[in-house]
Structure 1
């Protein structure tokens, strides 16, 4: 799967972390490894105001070619609810969905995500999620399902390093996930 190049929303947090595969060889060919992610607000509403939450990931795969996956807060996990974007009240309660299924291995697949880390700041605040990332990191549970079947675990996503926080007023170049690379694990041994 290769989705269109991901461009950031007007506001967001660009983070680096790791994805750990739940069960090898079960479903989608995502493998454990470093990941780049963007947590964003689709409408760029101020502060903790309710908004469409976004989660974009650059995932490592068994083939070595990364997948770009874009999810948005949806109406829930039901067959019809997961198909439409819906504003979220806070990061921890948002049900992220790929919104449309994608083709893989002759079937149509869905991916969902849910923040497993309580964010101490109320609402959908980018400052709150950035603080949680800086403090202890933020985890998301990723699940997968072929069309018409139940969701099952795919991976755990742990984000822990902030690359950039972009607000509407920032005068910085907006990076695409496709332009970023997670740090090489070999460099960690060298400091």
Structure 2
């Protein structure tokens, strides 16, 4: 393990530096620079309450455009959310629009609308000594048909939106984990505006492969440093109406 860390150290430094520089130039995240802040509840299915606890679990979230294309131009979309686990500790998920078939889950896809966006974790998780499991999110009906963030912001101020969260292994079968219900966040509900799935997850949950996740963490760290926020982001992010 220590040898792996030493081997990856130079690469991690390059990744961190690249994302630091890119975020500094953009004055925003390297990817997913603009988004809509959300809050709500997550309710796990009975077989997953051992991980999340029973009943409604407090959740904050963010829907975003990966590249930041203007208006309703198609983009790689993102869904990030934080839910409290059974020990009342934060568990972060950062999903992007991916293919839905087993092999296609490893590739990012461009979405044409929030209503048709299907999200995945791109890389798998492992818990309870399970085989690798990809986390997937499918929207409830009724979301906007374009990828405009301003249209989405207006929609969530008037309507609750929802996602079915499921997991899938190497095959096509899925198992529902729970349901995510979100609305526009009030100003005081967000104490952070970044989500780190590499750092924030239960101790008995692993992200695979571990070497790639260490590089991913370097990217997250570089992006935060480049925009100079670390843990200082508070308040509400206003959505640029032209995005």
Do both proteins adopt the same fold according to a TM-score greater than 0.5, normalized to the shorter chain?
Answer: yes
Whether the aligned pair in 1 keeps the contact of 2:102 and 2:170 (CA below 8 Å) is no
Alpha-carbon RMSD: 2.5
**Aligned pair 1:83/2:106, yes or no?**
yes
The structure that is strand-richer by fraction is: 1
Q: Distance in 2 between matches of 1:36 and 1:157?
A: 10
Return closer, same or farther for 1:69/1:128 CA change in 2, 3 Å cut-off: same
**Aligned pair 1:9/2:32, yes or no?**
yes
Whether the aligned pair in 2 keeps the contact of 1:117 and 1:140 (CA below 8 Å) is no
Return closer, same or farther for 1:134/1:158 CA change in 2, 3 Å cut-off: same
Q: Distance in 2 between matches of 1:157 and 1:38?
A: 12
The structure that is helix-richer by fraction is: 2
**Aligned pair 1:105/2:128, yes or no?**
yes
SS of aligned partner of 2:133: strand
Offset, 1:146:
3.9
SS of aligned partner of 2:154: helix
Match of 2:84 among 47, 50, 60: 60
Segments of 5+ residues of structure 1 without an aligned counterpart are 1-6, 165-173, 182-191
Offset, 1:63:
2.8
Segments of 5+ residues of structure 2 without an aligned counterpart are 1-28, 197-230, 235-243
Return closer, same or farther for 1:63/1:145 CA change in 2, 3 Å cut-off: farther
SS of aligned partner of 1:63: coil
**Aligned pair 1:175/2:199, yes or no?**
no
String of CA shifts for 1:31-65, please: whole Å, max 9, x gaps: 43110101000000000110000001112212322
SS of aligned partner of 1:155: strand
Offset, 1:103:
2.0
TM-score calculated relative to the size of structure 1: 0.76
**Aligned pair 1:118/2:142, yes or no?**
yes
Match of 1:74 in 2: 98
Match of 1:184 in 2: none
Radius of gyration: which is bigger? 2
Match of 1:135 in 2: 158
TM-score calculated relative to the size of structure 2: 0.60
String of CA shifts for 1:79-128, please: whole Å, max 9, x gaps: 111111111000111110001111212122211001113124x3101112
How many residue pairs are counted as aligned between the two chains?
Answer: 163
SS of aligned partner of 1:78: coil
